Amino acid sequence: MKLRPVLSPDGSTSSPHEPEDDRCRFDVYVLGRSQDGGLPHAGCEKPCCVDARDRGIVETPACLGIHDRETGRLVLIEATPGIDSQLRLLHDLTGVCGRGRQPVDAVLLTHAHIGHYTGLMYLGQEVADSHRMPVHVTPAMAAFLRDNGPWSQLVEQDNIDLIECAPGSVDGSGSAGAVFEPIEGLRVEAINVPHRDEFSDTVAFRIGGPARTLLFVPDIDRWDVRPGMLSRLLEGVDVAYVDGTFYDGRELPGRDLSEIPHPAMVTTMERLGERVAAHPGSIRFIHLNHTNPALTRSELQTEVAERGFAVADVGECQPL
């Protein structure tokens, strides 16, 4: 099967890392790119959602899928409310089908906000009735799932098997997280990042294959909460999917953004301009709010690309 290529900054279909490194074993696919509520957004009567409903446009929450070319094994990063369509897309893109009640081999979760973990409910007895699906989480996230229904039922009835990973830090101490392998050969490190942690902590994932390393940080309050945090997150990273919730912070008039902090895309582009000048297309925005004009306006996506960045495209692939 021909894999969908990564979009390059000039809008062409040639990947910024072609020709592909012969050592690449894993393919990382974008399965969703919107904020937790998707597009259209429940309760939203703004033109962005009215138009999406009228035109049948659907964007699902931020999610990645990983395929091991050698074994056919699959990993899902985030269990979103759109998990059914995202699993179907992952199976279509990889040619791996017939998985039945075990649609993937492992799940990784970043935190306990609704767009990132509530898809776990579809692994329960009412739907897939999976058996001991490995779910990799921090100790804080594991405690939340064990101690609160209905998630505790998934644990008690052996639908999911919570596997705890100790996260590292980028707060200046530089403590490294324990590297784990959700499937053989795929190295993952969880890294604590500042975010609204009402129910659990929040992590980014640094994901490494034989040839390349990818960073996934869909949710973070700000890049400057801790000195040097952004540069430490990006150490040794070839491509990064980063928080693109808001474009410039003006798209939610009347809302106090201090209550829902995220770094604006324009701020991130200012901070990382030199990096993308040397490595075009290596910083890719994901987790875009339904009001973010870069989610739906092609001319704005082109402007972002002309600056050396990219808005993640559903179905795009990054080899590791």
Please report, for the domain that includes residue 167, its CATH number.
3.60.15.10
In a domain, 265, yes or no: yes
Considering the domain boundaries, does residue 269 fall inside one?
Answer: yes
Kindly tell me if the per-residue pLDDT of 3 is higher than 70. Answer: no
| Number of independent structural domains in the chain | 1
pLDDT above 60 for 8: no
Q: How confident is the model at residue 257 (pLDDT cuts 50, 70, 90)?
A: low
Pull the structure tokens for residue 288.
């875009």
Report for 48-52, 170-174, 199-203: range of highest mean pLDDT: 48-52
What pLDDT score was predicted for residue 16?
44
Residue 304, domain extent: 26-319
User: Is residue 16 a part of any domain in this protein?
Assistant: no
**Structural domain includes residue 221:** yes
Domain membership of residue 196 (yes or no) is yes
pTM for the model? 0.92
In this prediction, residue 224 has a pLDDT band, given cuts at 50, 70 and 90, of: confident
For the chain, give the mean pLDDT: 90
In a domain, 137, yes or no: yes
Residue 256 has pLDDT above 70, yes or no: no
So what's the pLDDT on residue 227?
80
On whether residue 15 sits in a domain, the answer given is no
Question: Which residues share a beta bridge with 76?
Answer: 65, 107
Asked if residue 233 belongs to a domain, the reply is yes
**Across 52-61, 175-184, 201-210, 273-282, least confident range:** 175-184
